[in-house]
Amino acid sequence: MCGIAGLVLADGSQPLPKQLDRLVSAISHRGPDGEGRLTIGGTTLAHRRLAIIDLQTGDQPFQDSYGTSLIANGEIYNYRELTEKITDGVLSSKSDCELPLHLYRYHGLAFTEHLRGMYALAIHDSKRGRLVLARDPFGIKPLYYVKNKGCFAFASEPQALVAAGLASRTPCTSAFGELLNKQFIGGRSTAFAEIKRVLPGETLVIEEGQIIEKRYLAALPSDGPREKDFAGLEARLDALLSDSVNVHQRSDVPYGMFLSGGVDSSALLAMMARLNSKPVLTYTAGFDSKSVADERIQARSVAKAVGATHVEITITQQDFWRDLPAIAAALDDPCADYAIVPSFELARVAAKDVKVILSGEGGDELFAGYGRYRRALRPRWLGGREPRMHGLFDRMNVLREASSPHTPSLPDSQLASSSMYSRLQVAQAMDFVDWLPHDLLTKLDRCLMAHGLEGRTPFLDRPLAEFAFCLPDRAKIRGAHGKWLLRSWLGKQLPAAKPFSRKRGFTVPVGEWIRARGQQLGDLVAAQPGVKALCRSGSVAPLFQSRNKHAGQAAWVLLFFSLWYRRHILNLTPEGDVFDCLSSSAEC
């Protein structure tokens, strides 16, 4: 896992050394193990390396004898299989990330169709005079770009483009309403007016500083539910999950996993325990609060059942106040999901032992675990409704201007065949376009990479995803249970997981902690420049003392937004705890 960046200057000149230094330095946390740079004409590629596979000869950029160069942030899990097909002796390393360079020569822009993994990469083709940017279909790895009259630049994180002076801190204020209502920003736009995203599954071709072609590789198949032999579904799931976990464990450095004790992480643990001869290393977080379920109890039970080496941490209210400014600083692409807190704290601890963490993101989306999926299947007279119909701040009379959340749409290539989808599949596909890449995967990437830690997501593997997405609805949802097939499989593989028992959803006690300091905190947040510009006078402070769950969620989002705006728009460093930071920016 790494950080990449680059720029193409229209006049063919080379970038100023100080500008390039700032660009590369801003992504150094993503790759603490090495640095590489390459300038060819007016194109410069830069790479910061987190060495995972081929520790000795895997430094980037990679070059071939045909005038093509590559930098990549990611893991190509089928690299061994691809290597066997390249027999002309052109490989210069044993790195998984070198393979796309040669696949591009063989297959042109269709090279991504042969990749199994997570990636954001750049290829410079000097013969054709073009730059190619590509991102994996699920959007596991991020990539951003900015273009202006004289330059096209890209980087793994928006803040790197800003730090190098390639983009300004001018906010995209129209996106802030979406951030507050949905807790993330979807689509191509970002929180910065001049910076755009490469979309999940997208390949962009850039010539003379202009995007001349876009291609799209779908994460999900276009098929509706397939009629399957229910008796054989568990065996097929077992084989696909085994294969995915096996390739996701390909590494030359130690790895572990995040264990919540829920169905998804327990399923990964069960398979990892089967495939590993040594005890699996697991990490679980809990909180010093009785207002939320303690996941450590269940996680401890399943870890013990498979003989895992289990590490637990307790996150306190003091940790929350101390670390939240740093967490907001790490999330330059803002995501106000309160799970950023345990993700960041677990990553800090895990990074002392390992370089790779496997995590269960994608399980709920593939196997239909969310309650909103079950609601989407009910008729309206039984409480059914479309997912995400309303934003958090709707009807709260807090925002100065009414703001409708961004409505995601399926890519054209997928939309054409989506008429075959069931209602459940439509809801799942929308989450794959919007919620998954812009909330869950952004959270995982930034929180782990802030500590130089790679996150891997075995559920987000194309063969497994195709199988799960096309399962009959009844194999996903039965009665009050989502993820029915996965639960059934897990019950046989790891009975201690108790997959059909009733569990409380994962919650972080941010509401309780905020109310404990509500009066002081409400006044500070209400005085923040970003909040004052968006919210009605007198509407913010009461949220921080309310015991209403909805108000508490709104208070949390405004607190996060205040700290995010302070760091990334006002450019104030996160010195001190939450109260120190907010006090220093209240009068800006």
Look up residue 406 and give its two tokens.
């961004």
**How far is it, in rounded angstroms, from Cα 409 to Cα 210?**
25
Q: Kind of pairing, strands 43-49 and 144-147?
A: unpaired
Looking at residue 375, its pLDDT comes to 87
3-class state of residue 285 by DSSP: strand
**How far is it, in rounded angstroms, from Cα 360 to Cα 264?**
5
Looking at residue 230, its pLDDT comes to 76
Give the residue extent of every domain in the chain.
2-216, 230-388+407-497, 510-585
pLDDT digits (tens, 9 = 90+) for 353-387: 999 999 999 999 999 999 899 988 876 655 556 66
3-class state of residue 543 by DSSP: helix
pTM of the prediction? 0.96
Look up residue 541 and give its two tokens.
């402070």
The H-or-E segment that residue 255 falls in is strand 255-258
Looking at residue 513, its pLDDT comes to 95
Looking at residue 379, its pLDDT comes to 63
In contact, 99 and 112? CB cutoff 8 Å: no
To which residue do tokens 């393979």 refer?
99
Q: In sequence order, what are the beta bridge partners of 535? A: 399
- Could you say which residues of the chain have pLDDT below 50? none
Looking at residue 1, its pLDDT comes to 64
- Give how far Cα 560 sits from Cα of 26, 320, 527, 553, 555, Å: 22, 12, 14, 11, 9
pLDDT digits (tens, 9 = 90+) for 96-143: 999 999 999 999 999 999 999 999 999 999 999 999 999 999 999 999
- Respond yes or no on whether the N-terminal peptide bond of residue 61 is cis (omega within 30° of 0): yes
| Alpha carbon of residue 554 to chain centroid | 22
Sheet strands side by side (includes 255-258): 309-315, 281-287, 255-258, 356-358, 454-456
**How far is it, in rounded angstroms, from Cα 131 to Cα 71?**
11
31-53 burial, b at 16+ Cβ within 10 Å, e below that, comes to bebebbbbeeebbbbbbbbbbbb
Looking at residue 322, its pLDDT comes to 98
284-306 burial, b at 16+ Cβ within 10 Å, e below that, comes to bbbbebeebbbbbebbbebbebb
Write phi, then psi, for 130 (nearest 5 degrees).
-140, 160
User: 230-388+407-497 — its CATH code?
Assistant: 3.40.50.620
Q: Which CATH class is domain 2-216?
A: alpha beta
Q: Which of 427, 458, 239 is nearest to 356 (CA)?
A: 458
- Give how far Cα 487 sits from Cα of 263, 265, 302, 363, 510, Å: 7, 12, 14, 11, 30
Looking at residue 238, its pLDDT comes to 97
How many CB atoms lie under 10 A from the CB of residue 91? 17
**How far is it, in rounded angstroms, from Cα 494 to Cα 263?**
10
- Give how far Cα 288 sits from Cα of 83, 135, 203, 513, 573, Å: 49, 39, 45, 10, 28
Give the list of residues 6+ apart from residue 320 with CB closer than 8 angstroms, or none. 341, 510, 513, 578
Looking at residue 89, its pLDDT comes to 66
